């Protein structure tokens, strides 16, 4: 990874392209001129050709204003990779590829054609029409769930997976068992999926060698995104990152590996230089931007309306801090749960909850096995029952 001095030296060595503006002929149909075609010269600026040698000796497209800072050359981490978007893009590509989501999977026909020209995997090559088959055939890959396994995984996401309050959004709302798709997933949903759900969801459906690599990728992101990091562990993770990429390349097709996927190589080293990712990724800024955008009441004067709304919120916050305790305000919020009434308070502490009844009661016919399991748990885990046995 380049330091600030290395980056500054490269930027100073760039030479502007002498052409500046490129001219090219364009053909098009003019409205009201029938089928006639006209040729003309158009001028346009291209960022990619702004400096000489682009694509050959360098890939710089512009010079950032941060290089004008006097301490830029002393920075060990001049550019910070956003872990949130890197993890989201990798998880999204992995999710759609493993579950073979149409139009979003990286295992498409073009990817199979590319791997046939680049890789030596004849089993994954597109099969030409033979016999009664009139179209080309795409063989199944080891890393893709079969149709029945995919439906089981979707049912598991829909009916089984549960999270604690505030841990993650309800992923089951976006699962559609009829179309075989999952919609509405956000960056944080992919964050939870790749770190917690994926190793459990795909195990047993893919070969063990594939699952171990996916579990290693999940452990990589879980360690990098940890609240507290161990420098020794992060150094070992940085050494193993190239090996992890090589393992993934042996499993997935070349089309799976976008530039964002290769940024995995730098994430561990950036943790050593910049500290935990919670202080550097974009979850906080984007959530704050959403909060500020909701305050915009006049799109013609965005900044003014947001500033006025913020001032009104601060004045209201200060004013309500002097209200009595029984008045619900920002400082004295209404409880999420119903207040427990004394007459509904259970006799056993096992059944005591955080609030009172939220609705009417419903009858339920309990099976015999469930009743026996419940009684077994009650008799062996309730303090009141233990006190009776101790007498």
Check residue 35 and give its pLDDT. 41
Q: b or e along 122-151 (b: 16 or more beta carbons within 10 Å of the residue's beta carbon)?
A: eebeeeeeeeeeeeeebeebebbbeeeebe
Q: Which residue has the higher pLDDT, 165 or 93?
A: 93
Q: What is the pLDDT of residue 29?
A: 43
pLDDT digits (tens, 9 = 90+) for 270-318: 999 999 999 899 999 999 999 999 999 898 999 999 999 999 999 998 9
Instruction: Say what the pLDDT of residue 379 is.
Output: 81
Q: Where are the domains of the chain?
A: 4-74, 83-279, 297-352
User: What does pTM read for this prediction?
Assistant: 0.76
What pLDDT, on the 0 to 100 scale, is given for residue 25? 42
Q: How many CB atoms lie within 10 A of CB 259?
A: 7
Please name the residues in contact with 372: beta carbons below 8 A apart, sequence gap of 6 or more.
Answer: none
Mean pLDDT value across residues 93-120: 91
Residue 353 above 70 pLDDT?
no
Flag the least confident range among 22-26, 180-184, 196-200: 22-26
CB 69 within 8 A of CB 34: no
Q: Is there a contact between 143 and 256 (Cβ–Cβ < 8 Å)?
A: no
Nearest-10 Cα torsion for 75, 79, 80, 85 = 180
Rounded Cα gap, residues 261 and 256, in angstroms:
8
Tens-digit pLDDT profile for residues 29-81: 444 444 444 443 333 444 556 898 888 888 888 898 999 999 999 988 888 89
Identify which of 94, 81, 80 has the alpha carbon closest to the alpha carbon of residue 195: 94
Contact predicate 52/46, CB 8 Å:
no
Out of 1-5, 281-285, 313-317, 369-373, least confident range: 1-5
In this structure, of 2-6, 150-154, 383-387, the range with the lowest mean pLDDT score is 383-387
Query: What pLDDT shows up at residue 359?
Result: 67
Residue 217 is predicted with a pLDDT of 97
**Can you list the alpha helix ranges (DSSP code H) found in 101-207?**
109-118, 147-155, 187-192, 198-201
Average pLDDT estimate for 114-125:
89
Whole-angstrom Cα distance, residue 52 to residue 65? 20
Report residue 243's pLDDT band, with 50, 70 and 90 as the boundaries: very high
Q: pLDDT value at position 369?
A: 92
Cα angle 52, 54, 55 (rounded to 5 degrees) comes to: 150
């Amino acid at each position: 990874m380049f330091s600030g001095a290395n980056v500054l030296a490269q930027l100073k060595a760039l030479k502007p392209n002498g052409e500046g503006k490129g001219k090219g002929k364009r053909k098009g149909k003019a409205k009201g001129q029938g089928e006639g075609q006209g040729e003309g010269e158009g001028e346009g600026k291209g960022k990619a050709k702004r400096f000489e040698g682009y694509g050959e000796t360098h890939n710089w497209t512009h010079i950032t204003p941060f290089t004008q800072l006097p301490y830029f050359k002393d920075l060990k981490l001049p550019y910070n990779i956003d872990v949130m978007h890197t993890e989201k893009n990798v998880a999204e590509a992995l999710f759609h590829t493993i579950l073979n989501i149409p139009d979003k999977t990286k295992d498409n026909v073009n990817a199979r054609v590319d791997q046939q020209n680049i890789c030596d995997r004849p089993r994954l090559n597109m099969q030409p029409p033979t016999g009664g088959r009139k179209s080309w055939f795409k063989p199944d890959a080891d890393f893709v769930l079969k149709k029945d396994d995919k439906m089981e995984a979707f049912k598991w996401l829909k009916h089984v997976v549960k999270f604690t309050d505030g841990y993650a959004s309800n992923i089951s709302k976006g699962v559609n068992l009829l179309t075989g798709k999952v919609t509405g997933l956000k960056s944080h949903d992919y964050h939870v999926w790749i770190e917690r759900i994926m190793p459990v969801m795909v195990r047993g459906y893919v070969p063990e060698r594939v699952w171990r690599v996916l579990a290693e990728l999940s452990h990589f992101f879980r360690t990098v995104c940890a609240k507290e990091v161990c420098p020794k562990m992060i150094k070992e993770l940085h050494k193993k990152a190239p090996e992890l990429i090589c393992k993934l390349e042996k499993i997935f097709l070349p089309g799976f590996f976008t530039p964002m996927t290769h940024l995995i190589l730098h994430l561990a080293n950036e943790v050593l230089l910049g500290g935990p990712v919670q202080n550097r990724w974009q979850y906080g800024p984007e959530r704050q931007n959403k909060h500020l955008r909701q305050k915009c009441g006049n799109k013609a004067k965005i900044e003014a309306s947001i500033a006025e709304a913020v001032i009104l919120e601060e004045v209201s916050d200060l004013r309500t801090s002097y209200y009595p305790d029984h008045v619900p305000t920002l400082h004295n919020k209404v409880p999420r749960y119903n207040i427990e009434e004394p007459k509904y308070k259970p006799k056993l502490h096992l059944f005591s909850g955080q609030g009172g009844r939220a609705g009417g009661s419903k009858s339920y016919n309990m099976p015999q096995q469930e009743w026996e399991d419940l009684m077994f748990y009650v008799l062996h885990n309730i303090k009141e029952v233990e006190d009776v046995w101790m007498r």
